[in-house]
Amino acid sequence: MTGQTYFVTGTNRGIGFEITKYYSNLSKDNKIIATARDPSKADKLKELAAKNGNVEIITLETTSDKSIGLIDSELAKIGVDGIDVYVANAAISDSYINVIDCPKEVWLDHYTVNSLAPILVLQKLYKHLLKKETRKLVFISSGAGSLTRFVPTPVSAYGQSKAALNFSVLELSHELKQEGFKVVAVSPGVVSTDMGNHGHSEIVKNSPHLEDLLKSVSITPEESGTQVAQVIDNLKEEDNGKFLNYDHTEYPY
């Protein structure tokens, strides 16, 4: 099996860690560039890197222009010659507030991390992705960003920021199609990560009738990360521009 190089953001825990673990275990020939805001605190990630030898951990604060500006030098340090797959996973979700009450700084924080940062990182990675033929761009989105399958519970800035990210996915899928890129948004499901569990409890506070539904569809981080990775592995040309669910079905925008 020919190894591929993956650039994954937000890998110190949760879905990002599980995607990193999946590709690291899949083949010793893979190289995973795993980013974290503070690698010194990413104990599980460091343990995985020491065990498998194919995970390179770099510092990346996706809200910092300075940190994003250092991506080229970070890649040069670890001898990366091209990237096959970019997985934009880093995100925040803490806006379980009605639109009418949501403060400006909450909107801006969610837009900065969830909508803009994935694109700003891509702008730095673009030339590295062009060095490979694989050219897969995967943006981890959320069902909360679907306008068609809207769930009436307060997610305000989070839902809107993911809908904005989805718009960029659609636009990029057209912009980069002629260069052979496959650009998709992927919903990872309702996942029992730290962030997901916090969201679950906040949603149930606001919408108690959704508790049984959330419990029935909840999956573990490992289940989500593994299935998202398998979606990535199986991307075809005709998937370009789609919003896909972790279970390999298409999610409505």
**The pLDDT of residue 57:** 97
**The pLDDT of residue 219:** 82
At 80-103, the pLDDT tens digits run 989 999 999 999 998 889 999 999
Helix residue ranges per DSSP H, 78-116: 104-110
At 188-205, the pLDDT tens digits run 988 656 565 555 456 656
Q: Mind telling me the catalytic residues? A: 158, 162
**The pLDDT of residue 196:** 52
Q: Which residues contact 119 (CB under 8 A, 6 or more apart)?
A: 168
Residue ranges for the chain with pLDDT beneath 70: 1, 191-206, 209-217
SS3 sequence of 144-188: HHCCCCCCCCCCHHHHHHHHHHHHHHHHHHHHCHHHCCEEEEEEC
**The pLDDT of residue 185:** 98
**The pLDDT of residue 100:** 97
**The pLDDT of residue 194:** 58
Tokens describing residue 13: 């825990």
DSSP E strands in the chain: the ranges are 5-8, 31-36, 55-59, 85-88, 136-140, 182-187, 190-191, 218-219, 243-245
**The pLDDT of residue 212:** 61
**The pLDDT of residue 190:** 81
Domains of the chain: 5-244 (3.40.50.720)
**The pLDDT of residue 138:** 98
The string over 201-215, giving b where at least 16 C-beta atoms fall within 10 Å of a residue's C-beta and e elsewhere, is: ebbbeebeeeeeebe
**The pLDDT of residue 203:** 60
In this structure, are residues 99 and 162 in contact, taking their beta carbons and an 8 Å threshold? Answer: no
155: left (phi over 0), alpha (psi -120 to 50) or beta: alpha
